Amino acid sequence: MPKISVKGNSMPESPIRKLVPFAEAAIKKGRKIYQLNIGQPDIKTPSVALDAVRNHTIEVLSYSHSAGFEGYRNKLADYYRKHDIPVSGEEIIISTGGSEALLFAMGSIADAGDEIIIPEPFYANYNGFATASGIKIIPVESKIETNFALPPIADFEKLITPNTKAILICNPGNPTGYLYTKEEIDQLADMAIKHDIFLVADEVYREFAYDGAKHHSVMSIEKLKNHAIMIDSVSKRYSMCGARIGCIASKNKEVIATAMKFAQARLSPPTFEQIASEAALDTPQSYFDEVIEEYTLRRNILIAGLESIDGVKVATPKGAFYCIAELPVKNADDFAKWLLEEYQLDNETIMVAPAAGFYSTPNTGLNQVRIAYVLKRENLERAIVILKDALTVYNN
């Protein structure tokens, strides 16, 4: 029998999606599941985006430019400039989701065997993208005790080798919800320049900043212009996860020229999704104001609820819509499966994402879960009741 590739066997399972078969089995039993495991917002997609697709006049669904519609890129650049991100349409390549943008970035700046340093826990698919690209992730641990703030710069510097090509951050963070301060971004910028490496920032949750905090983009730092690469996406900003439109942006001309070759190899990003995404840029600020207010309330309900459960430790997020919670269990993976296979409270249960898959260091985060507060407030309150009862039953 032919063998699967080493790379294929090395590809990690998604900690978010690997429990889906257990959830499907629970649903067949008639269970109601509160899904805290995936960042799929229930916020309505802006009507202006959906209407643009409904009202299109396309007669031939043709290829777009490999970099994406020029009009969309220029309009996107206008949006960025309003957020103090000085970038032109020529410095942006539209991608099929932020995922493809990350693959373009990794392929453009690193060869097989090269290293990228990432604060962990981090978005689980970074592991998969790195494996697919033959790149080695070098983790630097952030801790729940400090709300997953940026680790000391000395921790980064001792990991830098001749093979180090970049530092990658997610800001605000998935899965931690941590929002880096200006001082932390400046520290990373200085380190990238000092060691002549790239600073790649996944900024797909830019709009989701709470308590008056401000997001600081790596693209807004003038001295970093040849070192900064920004990854972005419409998925969360406009509640358009199914659109699969993102982008890579950099003022480094070599990076964009190289990423363009990867873009040409996959021909072009999808047309209807670009139409929707370009139209979404006309979404009024009132939409975001309401969304931020709603997520702030949801966050407060979730964090207060988790803190009320004996033995649970939780970091308070300042952005995005996730948090990491440490549970009084030995193995969160086993607990998550048990919740779906064996447990129910009035025929209801919850689904969480075990956090070990968000770490690169083995045997780390084994008793942690990522929780997404993308459910309605009353559902979050019910999910907390279920989690509290489930922990009592599981531990007894």
Domain edge (last residue) among 260, 280, 300: 280
Q: What does the alpha-carbon distance between residue 191 and residue 214 come to, in Å, rounded to a whole number?
A: 22
pLDDT band at 17 (very low <50, low <70, confident <90, very high): confident
Give the Cα separation of 358 and 323 in Å (integer): 12
Q: Pick from 280, 314, 341: which residue ends a domain?
A: 280
Report yes or no on 1 lying in a domain. no
Supply the pLDDT for residue 362. Answer: 92
* 59 in the same domain as 128: yes
Which CATH number fits the domain that encloses residue 375?
3.90.1150.10
Residue 39 confidence (pLDDT): 87
Same domain for 61 and 28? no
Question: Are residues 207 and 93 located together in one domain of the fold?
Answer: yes
Percentage of the chain modeled with pLDDT above 70: 100
Are 103 and 86 found together in one domain?
yes
What pLDDT, in 10s, does the model give residues 323-355? Answer: 999 999 999 999 999 999 999 999 999 999 999
pLDDT above 90: percentage of residues in the chain: 95
What is the average per-residue pLDDT within 11-18?
80
Residue 87 in domain: yes
Shared domain for 61 and 166, answered yes or no, is yes
Residues 254, 375 share a domain: no
User: What is the total count of domains within the chain?
Assistant: 2
Q: Which domain holds residue 228?
A: 47-280
Mean pLDDT of 202-223: 96
Q: What digits encode the pLDDT tens for the residues 370-387?
A: 999 999 999 999 999 999
Q: What value does the mean pLDDT take over residues 243-250?
A: 97
In this structure, what DSSP letter does residue 345 have? B
H or E, element range at 127: helix 125-133
Do 152 and 33 lie in one domain? The reply is no
> CA 110 from chain center: how many Å?
21
Give the mean pLDDT of the chain: 96
In a domain, 116, yes or no: yes
Peptide bond into 121 cis (omega under 30): yes
> Which of the listed residues 230, 248, 280 is the one where a domain comes to its end?
280
Q: Is 161 part of a structural domain of the chain?
A: yes
For residue 156, is it within any domain?
Answer: yes
**Residue entry with tokens 């453009």:** 108
Same domain (yes/no): 296, 217 = no
Q: Is residue 253 part of a domain?
A: yes
The H or E element containing residue 86 is none
Are residue 363 and residue 276 in the same domain, yes or no? Answer: no
Query: Please, is 295 exposed, middle or buried when counting C-beta atoms within 10 Å of its C-beta (0-12, 13-18, 19+)?
Result: buried
* Confidence (pTM): 0.95
The string of pLDDT tens digits covering residues 80-101 is 999 999 999 999 999 999 999 9
Q: What is the pLDDT of residues 247-291, one digit of tens each?
A: 999 999 999 999 999 999 999 999 999 999 999 999 999 999 999
Q: How confident is the model at residue 234 (pLDDT cuts 50, 70, 90)?
A: very high
| Residue 208's pLDDT band (cuts 50, 70, 90) | very high
Residue 16, pLDDT > 80, answer no
Which CATH number belongs to the domain containing residue 267 in this structure? Answer: 3.40.640.10
Q: Is residue 386 part of a domain?
A: yes
Task: Note whether 150 and 227 are same-domain residues.
Answer: yes
Amino acid at 91: E
Name the CA radius of gyration of the chain, rounded: 21
CA distance 314 to 335: 17
Of 147, 123, 130, 78, which Cα lies nearest the Cα of 325? 147
Question: In this predicted model, what pLDDT tens digit does every residue of 133-192 receive, in sequence order?
Answer: 999 999 999 999 999 999 999 999 999 999 999 999 999 999 999 999 999 999 999 999
366 touches 331 (CB < 8 A): yes
Residue 138 and residue 316: Cα distance in Å, rounded? 26
pLDDT in tens, 26-45: 999 999 999 999 888 889 99
- Are residue 186 and residue 206 in the same domain, yes or no? yes
Query: Do residues 193 and 273 both lie within one domain?
Result: yes
